[in-house]
Amino acid sequence: MEITMLPLVLFLAAALALNVSPGPDMLYVISRSLEQGRRAGIVSALGIDVGTLVYTLVTAIGLSALLLSIPILFNAIRYAGALYLAYLGFRMLFAKITKTRGTAEGKPEHIPLRSVFRQGVTTNMLNPKVALFFLAFLPQFVDQSKGQVALQLVLLGLMFDTSGTSVNVVVATLAGRVGDSLKKRSTFSRIQRILPAVILIALAILVVL
């Protein structure tokens, strides 16, 4: 089994173009990086990476076709994803503020990195558009004459996931640096708590629409 060079180059170019386009995963990484720093942003990117791996395997064995044949299932997952994003946003917005000695504003209480990772996985898994995208996109670059279609799908999915994770890690690093620089300003403590929450709540609305 092999994937010929020209389709592979086209696939990688298309994957990179799609991965650098802002979407739910990237916005989640940005919000987490702004709130909790570069490290948390990278951890959330790795969580999204795991979610994408699951969708790759699901696509390879054909189960994601259920989302096309059962619209109710698609809508159920879509609304569950929107509710989860809204929950994260409101939880972040109304999070307890840890008071620090000598300051009036304090700073947002950070959640454990394992929870950040878990939220990244959940955010990705509750986005059915990822499954539909894989079902529509990956097969376009599969050569049935080469055989082992499932293996081709897995390899393509792994390449797409690697590209997406790399982009999200870069985004987390940049957003984390922005957050770190803004933390030095006295007025940012409140913005740091509100802006990521607003991003997640707006994202929940966009997922529904």
Question: What confidence tens digit (pLDDT) does each residue in 88-135 have?
Answer: 888 877 765 444 444 444 455 577 899 999 989 988 888 766 777 777
What pLDDT is stored for residue 31 in this prediction? 87
How much is the average pLDDT of 63-82?
Answer: 72
Reported as a pLDDT band with limits 50, 70 and 90, residue 3 is low
Between CA 160 and CA 166 the distance in angstroms is 10
What pLDDT is stored for residue 183 in this prediction? 67
Give the H/E segment covering residue 154. Answer: helix 149-183
What pLDDT is stored for residue 100 in this prediction? 41
Ordered by start, the domain boundaries in the chain are: 5-208
Give me the sign of the Cα torsion angle 68, 71, 56, 7: positive
What pLDDT is stored for residue 101 in this prediction? 41
Tokens 């569950």 belong to 80
Q: Is the pLDDT of residue 185 over 70?
A: no
How much is the average pLDDT of 147-160?
Answer: 85
Between CA 118 and CA 183 the distance in angstroms is 26
| Tens-place pLDDT, residues 165-181 | 999 999 999 998 887 77
Between the alpha carbon of residue 127 and those of residues 81, 120, 141, 153, 208, the distances in Å are 6, 11, 23, 20, 11
What pLDDT is stored for residue 40 in this prediction? 92
What pLDDT is stored for residue 106 in this prediction? 47
Give me the sign of the Cα torsion angle 108, 90, 120, 14: negative
- The pairs formed by 185-193 with CB atoms below 8 angstroms and a separation of 24 or more are 186/105, 189/103, 189/105, 189/106, 189/107, 189/108, 190/105, 192/34, 192/35, 192/107, 192/108, 193/35, 193/92, 193/93, 193/95, 193/97, 193/108
Q: Is the pLDDT of residue 1 over 50?
A: no
| Tens-place pLDDT, residues 22-68 | 778 888 899 889 888 899 999 999 999 999 898 888 877 876 666 66
Lowest mean pLDDT among 16-20, 73-77, 83-87, 147-151: 73-77
CA-based Rg of the chain, rounded to a whole angstrom? 19
What dihedral angle (degrees, nearest 10) is formed by the CA atoms of 11, 154, 127, 207? 10
